[in-house]
């Protein structure tokens, strides 16, 4: 029996009320802790995901930062698993972790999240399934900044529900690091990285290989990846220059990735090169950058006993210039961007398109405690003409460590080549698609102290012209149209406490986050493929335990329930033993209790996976 609309509304209201109560309890704990006396501050945490480097306390939307320390303490062994631990972020992995994953933020789909590497867009024009094909090893990441909510007025297209900026490590003192790991399903991993200097220039080079025969002996679920990356940073006069390059080769079994049959496999290659410069004067900061990306995708599947292959190659060139100016009226940021991309494919055809964009953002101090912000992005597409996307925000320091923020912004996404040109008997693309668009509102509180961090946010996104695969019945092909509109309402709250109990000194850190999402959509009575496939409830919690001064353990739990009712509870744990300053032994178990669940498509997630290894600095 299906619940009535009144019962659904009552249940939704009860859940929202419970989430608000949890947030208010968090706020009460904040106030109690503040009254207990002054403590050491966290220091100024700078965020660059807004293009302009700004203190976290002055950003007028929800942001979460994963530091280098968080990465090292985590049971995660790859970028996918790190992102899956972030509240409000939905990572839907297919097959062996590291093969492929779709990432979305706050109920958006995987095409609506912009992935950046050092501020450079990594969005794949063929399909968002490849957005995480990034040639960077987990050991080379300094931090990850997750900007939740629309970022179109900053980054333009595809930052519709949020942006994830991956910042790589800089070269410090010359050293070499060797990582060796092994584990379940014939898993092996080796990574060699080194930093060195030539004059005023620092260089970092990393090479890695990862292999697994797969977690299902009867179906192709194996993984074989090779990666190479290098970054160089130097200074001359009043400018800093960064040059980077990377290559990633992934060959993996794609059993049940795109339809419910095992005979699928995929091989992707990513090549990236970029250069960026920061030029400083007393009041100005110029940042020009240029990047080139090539992505090759070879997907093979069995059809009536024979293997068919779809082969696609995309090229993408970006040139951009931004300027930040400090004046008596606050911080003014302006920029221009040129982007060209093309695809050569035996299944999608040969196409190319370009875009030119400009943006302006202004941050205006309003007294000593408030900052007003506003801006506009204007983009011209060779296929769609001009589009305009405004936004405004307010940040208010309630008192020393507590800030309140509110924002409203319009955002958009352009269709991928797959949505426009993919045609099979069961999938029909449309070259006449328009850009989808949304208005998003958010308000929230952010509290930052060394011993306690907490947040509470309420948000709503109204989307129109959503690009969606739809069909009228299970015997009909999927067709893509600008057919759906949706409203997503959500609550997000979280708390992280360092040394929460003086009576238990072993317990170093405790964290808990919760996100509730409710989506209402109008697809004109048609069955949709993605719109109602996002999360409704997401609960993340972890604790860090110091068994000895040099032995640390993290235990993490993740509970997720989707709108259509599927749910899973997954527990991961890791142990880190620092034998000396140069030698570390580590072990991890993901999916500790061997939970059966599916995150994307028809591909089951791996069961319990045990890994162990060493990290040796020379």
Residue 179 backbone class (left: φ over 0; alpha: ψ -120 to 50; beta: rest): beta
pTM of the model: 0.90
pLDDT-derived band at 478 (thresholds 50, 70, 90) equals: very high
pLDDT-derived band at 581 (thresholds 50, 70, 90) equals: confident
- Spatial neighbors of 28 by CB under 8 A, at least 6 apart, are none
pLDDT at residue 457 greater than cutoff 70: yes
Over the stretch 304-322, which tens digit does the pLDDT of each residue have? 778 999 999 999 999 999 9
What's the first-to-final CA gap in the chain, in angstroms?
Answer: 64
Are the C-beta atoms of 132 and 268 separated by less than 8 Å?
A: no
pLDDT-derived band at 425 (thresholds 50, 70, 90) equals: confident
Question: How many structural domains does the chain have?
Answer: 1
Residues 613 and 238: their CA atoms lie apart, in Å, by 43
Share of the chain above pLDDT 90, in %: 66
pLDDT-derived band at 50 (thresholds 50, 70, 90) equals: low
| Helix H or strand E segment including 193 | strand 187-198
* Whole-number pLDDT of residue 259: 87
Q: Return mean pLDDT, the chain.
A: 88
pLDDT at residue 34 greater than cutoff 60: no
Q: 78-87, 355-364, 382-391: lowest mean pLDDT where?
A: 382-391
- Spatial neighbors of 593 by CB under 8 A, at least 6 apart, are 569, 570, 571, 608
- Spatial neighbors of 260 by CB under 8 A, at least 6 apart, are 602
Residues 446 and 64: their CA atoms lie apart, in Å, by 11
* Whole-number pLDDT of residue 105: 94
pLDDT at residue 281 greater than cutoff 90: no
Residues 122 and 103: their CA atoms lie apart, in Å, by 13
Handedness of CA 527, 531, 536, 542 (dihedral sign): positive
- Spatial neighbors of 353 by CB under 8 A, at least 6 apart, are 340, 341, 342, 381, 382, 383
Strands 113-117 and 162-168: parallel
* Whole-number pLDDT of residue 530: 76
Over the stretch 529-546, which tens digit does the pLDDT of each residue have? 877 678 999 999 999 999
More confident residue, 250 or 383: 250
Q: DSSP string spanning 384-441?
A: TEEEEEEEEEEEEEEETTEEEEEEEEEEEEPPPHHHHH-EETTEE--TT---EEEEEE
- Spatial neighbors of 564 by CB under 8 A, at least 6 apart, are 532, 533
More confident residue, 288 or 484: 288
pLDDT at residue 22 greater than cutoff 60: no
More confident residue, 531 or 87: 87
Are the C-beta atoms of 536 and 516 separated by less than 8 Å?
A: yes
Q: What is the DSSP letter of 99?
A: S
Are the C-beta atoms of 519 and 90 separated by less than 8 Å?
A: no
* Whole-number pLDDT of residue 48: 61
Residues 360 and 293: their CA atoms lie apart, in Å, by 26
pLDDT at residue 421 greater than cutoff 50: yes
* Whole-number pLDDT of residue 11: 47
Task: Count CB neighbours of 328 within 10 A.
Answer: 5
pLDDT at residue 42 greater than cutoff 70: no
More confident residue, 159 or 510: 510
pLDDT at residue 527 greater than cutoff 50: yes
Tell me the CATH number at 457: 2.40.170.20
- Spatial neighbors of 70 by CB under 8 A, at least 6 apart, are none
Query: What are the tokens at 569?
Result: 């509870």
* Whole-number pLDDT of residue 152: 63
Task: Count CB neighbours of 115 within 10 A.
Answer: 25
Handedness of CA 435, 439, 444, 447 (dihedral sign): positive
In which residue are the tokens 């299902």 written? 216
3-class SS at 215?
coil
Tell which residue, 394, 436, 393, has the closest CA to residue 411: 436
* Whole-number pLDDT of residue 3: 42
pLDDT at residue 488 greater than cutoff 60: yes
Backbone angles phi, psi at 417, to 5 degrees: -65, -35
Handedness of CA 150, 151, 156, 159 (dihedral sign): negative
Residues 90 and 49: their CA atoms lie apart, in Å, by 19
* Whole-number pLDDT of residue 47: 58
Q: 292-296, 347-351, 469-473: lowest mean pLDDT where?
A: 469-473
pLDDT at residue 298 greater than cutoff 60: yes
Task: Count CB neighbours of 443 within 10 A.
Answer: 17
* Whole-number pLDDT of residue 52: 62
* Whole-number pLDDT of residue 528: 83
Residue 227, CA distances (Å) to 138, 205, 230, 269, 274 in order: 11, 11, 10, 10, 17
Parent domain of 427? 5-617
Q: 17-26, 228-237, 254-263: lowest mean pLDDT where?
A: 17-26
* Whole-number pLDDT of residue 172: 75
Over the stretch 178-218, which tens digit does the pLDDT of each residue have? 999 999 999 999 999 999 999 889 999 999 999 999 999 89
Over the stretch 128-157, which tens digit does the pLDDT of each residue have? 999 999 999 999 999 999 999 887 677 777
Share of the chain above pLDDT 70, in %: 91
Residue 181, CA distances (Å) to 186, 189, 276, 553 in order: 11, 5, 34, 18
Tell which residue, 155, 161, 153, 152, has the closest CA to residue 112: 161
* Whole-number pLDDT of residue 158: 81
Residue 286, CA distances (Å) to 117, 239, 317, 363 in order: 19, 9, 20, 17
């Amino acid at each position: 029996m299906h619940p009535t609309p009144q019962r659904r509304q009552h249940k939704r209201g009860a859940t929202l009320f419970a989430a608000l109560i949890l947030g208010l309890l968090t706020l009460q704990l904040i106030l109690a802790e503040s009254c207990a006396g002054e403590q050491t501050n966290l220091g100024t945490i700078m965020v660059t995901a807004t293009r302009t480097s700004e203190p976290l306390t002055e950003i007028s939307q929800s942001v979460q930062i994963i530091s280098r320390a968080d990465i090292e303490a985590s049971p995660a062994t790859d970028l996918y698993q790190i992102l899956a631990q972030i509240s409000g972020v939905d990572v839907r992995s297919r097959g062996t972790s590291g093969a492929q994953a779709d990432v979305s933020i706050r109920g958006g789909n995987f095409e609506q999240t912009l992935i950046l590497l050092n501020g450079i867009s990594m969005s794949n024009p063929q399909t968002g399934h490849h957005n995480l094909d990034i040639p960077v090893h987990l050991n080379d990441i300094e931090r990850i900044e997750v900007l939740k909510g629309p970022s179109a007025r900053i980054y333009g297209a595809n930052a519709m529900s949020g942006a994830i900026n991956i910042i790589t490590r800089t070269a410090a003192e010359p050293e070499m690091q060797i990582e060796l790991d092994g584990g379940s399903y014939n898993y092996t991993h080796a990574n060699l990285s080194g930093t060195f200097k030539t004059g005023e220039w620092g260089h970092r080079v990393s090479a890695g290989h990862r292999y697994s025969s797969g977690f299902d002996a009867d179906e192709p679920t194996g993984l074989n990846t090779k990666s190479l990356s290098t970054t160089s940073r130097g200074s001359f006069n009043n400018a800093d220059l960064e040059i980077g390059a990377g290559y990633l080769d992934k060959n993996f079994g794609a059993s049940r990735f795109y339809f419910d049959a095992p005979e699928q496999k995929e091989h992707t290659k990513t090549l990236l090169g970029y250069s960026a410069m920061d030029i400083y004067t007393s009041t100005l900061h110029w940042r020009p950058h240029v990047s080139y990306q090539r992505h090759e995708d070879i997907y093979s599947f069995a059809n009536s006993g024979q293997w068919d292959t779809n082969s696609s190659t995309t090229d993408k060139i970006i040139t951009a210039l931004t300027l930040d100016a400090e004046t008596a009226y606050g911080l003014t940021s302006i920029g221009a961007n040129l982007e060209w991309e093309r695809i050569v494919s035996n299944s999608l055809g040969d196409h190319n398109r370009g875009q030119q964009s400009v943006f302006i953002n202004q941050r205006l101090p309003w007294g000593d405690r408030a900052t007003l912000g506003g801006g506009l992005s204007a983009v011209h597409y060779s296929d769609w003409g001009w589009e305009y996307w405004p936004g405004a925000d307010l940040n208010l320091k309630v008192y020393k460590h507590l800030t309140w923020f509110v924002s409203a912004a319009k955002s958009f996404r352009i269709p991928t080549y797959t949505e426009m040109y993919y045609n099979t008997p069961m999938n029909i693309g449309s070259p006449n698609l328009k850009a989808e668009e949304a208005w998003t509102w958010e308000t929230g509180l952010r509290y930052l102290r060394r011993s306690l961090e907490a947040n509470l946010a309420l948000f709503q996104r109204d989307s129109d012209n959503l690009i969606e695969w739809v069909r009228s019945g299970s015997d009909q092909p999927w067709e893509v149209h600008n057919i759906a509109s949706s409203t997503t309402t959500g609550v997000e709250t979280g708390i992280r406490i360092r040394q929460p109990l003086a009576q238990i000194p072993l317990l170093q850190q405790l964290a808990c986050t919760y996100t509730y999402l409710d989506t209402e959509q109008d697809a004109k009575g048609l069955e949709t493929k993605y719109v109602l496939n996002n999360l409704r409830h997401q609960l993340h919690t972890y604790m860090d335990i110091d068994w000895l001064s040099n032995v640390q353990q993290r235990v993490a739990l993740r509970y997720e329930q989707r709108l259509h009712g599927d749910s899973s509870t997954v527990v991961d744990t890791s142990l880190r033993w620092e034998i000396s300053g140069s030698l570390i032994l580590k072990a991890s178990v993901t999916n500790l209790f061997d939970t059966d669940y599916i995150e994307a498509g028809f591909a089951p997630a791996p069961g319990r996976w045990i890994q162990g290894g060493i990290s040796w600095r020379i």
